[in-house]
Amino acid sequence: MKYSLRQMQIFDEVARSLSYTRAAETLNLTQPAVFAQVKQLEDQVGTALIERLGRKLYLTEAGAAVQEAATEVLAEIARMEMRLADLGGLARGRLRIAAVSTAEYTVPARIGAFTAAHPGIEVELTVGNRQELLERFARNADDLYILGTPPEGLEAVTEVYAENPLVLVAPPGHALASEPQIAAARVAALPFLMREQGSGTRIATERFFAERGLNVAARMELGSNEAIKQGVMAGLGLAVLSRSTLEMELRHGALLLLDVQGFPLPRHWHVAYPAGKRLSVAAKAFLAALRQPSLVGTGAQRG
């Protein structure tokens, strides 16, 4: 066969993201290596698969046909790997987990405990923002998805597995630092640092204030929890963050919690997968590990 499986995988990723750079990051390759593989595939096919108009990439008609075939081939390979892994039980196999960026503070520890118990299972963790995870969910790119807010508008099986309270943080020495039970209206009038639109944390924050007839002003929109924490420390504004992201900063006094009425906001971590998906033995075992009695929530719901 003149087309290699690796070429199909690389082209499929480029076709989905329409970016050589993003595809290279996802595949842990260099951008020139990804470009070279696509060019080689085009030479073998005998026609252009991707064209550049201005700064954007577009699939040609031939490119769309190749992507459709590549998707089918890769899906069949994934099904074969799952069947083989099931035959091998937990002695070997692969588990693909995608998690929102806030979960990167807690999920690696859970994966570490899981792989220690099942060393034959290779775990692949992808971290991204909520929108990126929902896109991966829609194309069934992974086995399990870790989110703070269940998928909406997608057929999904969703399960609560742990608490994820949201707290309101300020820099040391803030004027409200020592005040008890601060009214929500007082903090709503102050500048806030927020995650991007669509972030689960931002959705919960805006909903909290909207339910009280308040609008919160986003002074700055930042794409990561670390950037927001640094901004709060620099005095640029307040922020609502997952308590799990703040262990070190609170311990060393770099940030402090404000005692605002209604906080902490009760939220939970969810594990989800597409409805109707046949889970591998490894995915079932990881779900079982998340359901340990000491953890919060075991009831499944349809989302």
Tokens 């500048």, residue located: 191
Q: CATH second-level architecture of 88-163+268-302?
A: 3-Layer(aba) Sandwich (3.40)
Angle between helices 5-17 and 61-87 (to 10 degrees): 120
Task: Reply yes or no on whether the pLDDT at 295 is more than 70.
Answer: no
As a CATH number, domain 166-257 is 3.40.190.10
- The lowest-confidence range among 1-15, 133-147, 150-164, 285-299 is 285-299
Domain(s) of CATH 1.10.10.10: residues in the chain? 5-72
Residue 230 CB neighbour total at 10 angstroms: 15
Residues 225-255: pLDDT tens digits?
999 999 999 999 999 999 999 999 999 999 9
User: What is the pTM for the complete model shown?
Assistant: 0.69
Domain(s) of CATH 3.40.190.10: residues in the chain? 88-163+268-302, 166-257
Amino acid at residue number 159: E
Residues 15-43: pLDDT tens digits?
988 999 989 988 888 999 999 999 999 99
- Residue 127 exposed, middle or buried by CB count within 10 Å (0-12, 13-18, 19+): middle
d(CA 38, CA 50): 9
Task: Reply yes or no on whether the pLDDT at 87 is more than 70.
Answer: no
Query: H-helix or E-strand containing 219?
Result: strand 218-221
Query: Facing residues of 132 across strands?
Result: none
Band the pLDDT of 80: cuts 50, 70, 90.
confident
Band the pLDDT of 293: cuts 50, 70, 90.
low
Does the domain at 5-72 match CATH 1.10.10.10? Answer given as: yes
- The lowest-confidence range among 9-18, 54-63, 86-95, 178-187 is 86-95
Average pLDDT score, the chain: 88
Instruction: Transcribe 86-126 into DSSP letters.
Output: HHTTTSSEEEEEEEEGGGGGTHHHHHHHHHHH-TTEEEEEE
d(CA 303, CA 299): 13
Residues 171-183: pLDDT tens digits?
999 999 999 999 9
What are the C-alpha distances in Å from 28 to residues 23, 124, 140?
8, 12, 20
Mean pLDDT for 277-282 is: 88
